[in-house]
Amino acid sequence: MSAGSSPKKYVKVWFLLLVLFAISVIGPAFEIRWLTLITAFGIAGVKAFVVAKEFMHLNVEKKIVSYMLGSMFLACVLFYFGVAGDVMNSKGQHWEKKVYKVEKTKASH
Amino acid sequence: MGIVQPIATRRSATGILTGKLAVWWLIGSEIVIFGGLLASYIMMRLLHGDWANEAEHTNVVIGATNTFVLLTSSLFVVLSHYWAEKGDRDKAFKYMWLTILGGALFLCFKSYEWTHEIAQGYTISKSLFWSFYYVAAGIHGLHIIGGVVIMAFISFDLKKGKNMHRAELIGLYWHFVDIVWIFLFPLLYIAK
């Protein structure tokens, strides 16, 4: 816990989180794709950052903890891009998804 | 014979007390568990545009209420940690129980929500979307239950002025559970 921590400061952070939360609920109501992406998902990232920094005190924690958590997150990103190429495509150079083939056949009938 | 402090509060080979380091490692492993699950969900969601129709049936009001409850409980647990560090046992105990109350409220809302959805036929086997929905929210719910039980044990130590550092350790875990929900909420409830 940093020296400047106080219940008043925590309440202020909580209030900020509530404002961000309200934006993340109201923004997608306009049903504009880019606005939804920014308000719902972008702000989720900001909220997570605020919680990690102010409530988990990552800002005053030893840097090794941030590196450790960051490397775990990086593993997930690698996982995503490692398999996305296969999962997101219906066919490749020497393969085609059987499910996709069946759906295509059904659609043509 | 003098009181021997637990190793978690004495040893810090890395400059971080052992107990706290263990919790950071736990959170690191949880990032991979939830990160893998959410990455799979995002991938499938991008692949199946029709999942938006399924997501229409999730209850945004309850999802939003639970977000508010968890954010507030995060405030309470950090206040419990603050008062534990100041040595105020009563306030640390009180805020720990307010956090527990937040966790219990979350579970009550979730139970109501699931009961309603299952009664309407949106079960875990209805479609891949609902499988993801119940698995992700279910694993998160289990973490809430675990956190609530651990906090209940820790709270009585706080009351006695024993192992006060544990308020911080459970706090770190609880904030992480909150962060997971911060991402689950838009993914399962908002993105229609």
Full pLDDT tens readout for chain B, 192 residues? 455 566 666 667 778 888 899 999 999 999 999 999 999 999 998 888 888 888 899 999 999 999 999 999 999 999 999 999 999 999 999 999 999 999 999 999 999 999 999 999 999 999 999 999 999 999 999 999 999 999 999 999 999 999 899 999 999 999 999 999 999 999 999 887
pLDDT tens-place string over residues A71-106? 999 999 999 999 988 888 878 888 887 766 666 566
Give yes or no for B22 touching A (CB within 8 A): no
The reply to whether B7 falls in a domain is: no
pLDDT tens-place string over residues A2-51? 667 899 999 999 999 999 999 999 988 888 888 888 888 899 999 999 99
Q: How far is CA B129 from CA A12, B46, B126, B158, in A?
A: 37, 12, 8, 42
| B137 within 8 A of B122, measured Cβ to Cβ | no
Instruction: Indicate which CATH number applies to the domain containing B143.
Output: 1.20.120.80
What count of CB pairs under 8 Å joins A to B? 112
Q: What is the pLDDT of residue B103?
A: 98
The reply to whether B63 falls in a domain is: yes
Q: Residue B66 sits in which domain range? A: 16-190
Q: Do B71 and A75 touch (CB under 8 A)?
A: no
The shortest CB-CB distance from A55 to any of B42, B74, B190 is to: B74
From the list B26, B164, B30, B23, the residue with the least C-alpha distance to B96 is: B164
The reply to whether B9 falls in a domain is: no
Q: Do A68 and B24 touch (CB under 8 A)?
A: yes
The Cα angle at residue B171 between residues A67 and B162, in degrees rounded to 5: 120
In chain A, the number of structural domains is: 1
Q: What is the pLDDT of residue A68?
A: 94
Tell me the ipTM for this assembly.
Answer: 0.89
The reply to whether B10 falls in a domain is: no
**Cα separation of the two ends of chain B:** 64
In DSSP terms, A96 is beta-bridged to A91
The reply to whether A56 falls in a domain is: yes
Tokens of residue B68, six digits: 């508010």
Q: Using CA atoms, how far apart are residues A86 and A100, in angstroms rounded to an integer?
A: 13
Q: Residue A31 sits in which domain range? A: 7-108
In chain B, the number of structural domains is: 1
| A88 within 8 A of B46, measured Cβ to Cβ | yes
The reply to whether A1 falls in a domain is: no
The reply to whether B6 falls in a domain is: no
Task: Work out the minimum CA distance from A102 to partner chain B, whole angstroms.
Answer: 16
Q: How far is CA A7 from CA A12, A67, A108, B83, in A?
A: 9, 28, 65, 9
* Residues of chain A contacting B, Cβ within 8 Å: 1, 5-7, 10-11, 13-14, 17-18, 21, 24-25, 28, 36, 40-41, 44, 47-48, 51-52, 55-56, 61-62, 64-65, 68-69, 71-73, 75-77, 79-80, 83-84, 87-88
Q: Do A48 and B15 touch (CB under 8 A)?
A: no
Q: Do B71 and A14 touch (CB under 8 A)?
A: yes
| B183 within 8 A of B44, measured Cβ to Cβ | no
The reply to whether B52 falls in a domain is: yes
Task: Work out the minimum CA distance from B63 to partner chain A, whole angstroms.
Answer: 10
The reply to whether A2 falls in a domain is: no
Give yes or no for B108 touching A (CB within 8 A): no
